[in-house]
Amino acid sequence: VAVFSDADAKAMHVQMADEAYCIGPAASTESYLRGDKLLELAKATGCKGIHPGYGFLSENAIFASQCEEEGVTFIGPPASAIKAMGSKSESKNIMGASAVPIVPGYHGEDQSLDKLKEEAEKIGYPLMIKAVLGGGGKGMRIVEHADEFEEMLGVAREESRKHFSDEDVLLERYVQRPRHVE
């Protein structure tokens, strides 16, 4: 059973599926991100599991939990793992406890300006301010010098609040030529 938005009506997965159902208009917030529609359709068609695709609901701990509550298998990691992966601070705690090297910085719960400034001085400049939740570069700011810290912190927190409904940040040494591994 496949699902599609109006924009994907002629997509290959729709053509190859035994059954295919339109779940809404092109806007993902009205189609692919509507977990309630997907669960309703799964139950109506007798599906025993949902593969959430890549992106969209694949990293949504709430949707994974809803699937479990409804007796539908979420084909992906458990909600607890998704939640841990979604928080950079929690991910760093898990990696640190497993002796995995992490970029030096601060990812503690005390988010007061005084504490963050104190930790920034310990890390040194340049440093990176990152939103604890979210991704895609939102809520990230490079701070070259101490006199920029408060302004960049404010910008990072506002962007994080706007995109992720959370303003907690972490601080890391800025790595100028990183090699990213996933």
Query: How many residues comprise the chain?
Result: 182
Q: Assess contact for 115 and 108: CB atoms under 8 A.
A: yes
DSSP 3-state of 130 = strand
Is the peptide bond preceding residue 52 cis, with omega within 30 degrees of 0?
A: no
Cα-based torsion angle of the residue sequence 169, 174, 176, 177 in order, rounded to the nearest 10 degrees = -70
pLDDT tens-digit profile, the chain (182 residues)? 999 999 999 999 999 999 999 999 998 888 988 999 999 999 999 999 999 887 778 878 889 999 999 999 999 999 988 888 778 888 888 888 999 988 999 999 999 999 999 999 999 999 999 999 877 788 899 999 999 999 999 999 999 888 777 899 999 999 988 887 66
By CB neighbour count within 10 A (0-12 exposed, 13-18 middle, 19+ buried), where does 151 fall? Answer: exposed
Q: Report the pLDDT value the prediction gives residue 182, as an integer from 0 to 100.
A: 63
CA atoms within 13 A on the CB side of 96: 13
Evaluate the CA torsion angle 47, 78, 57, 179 in order and state its sign: negative
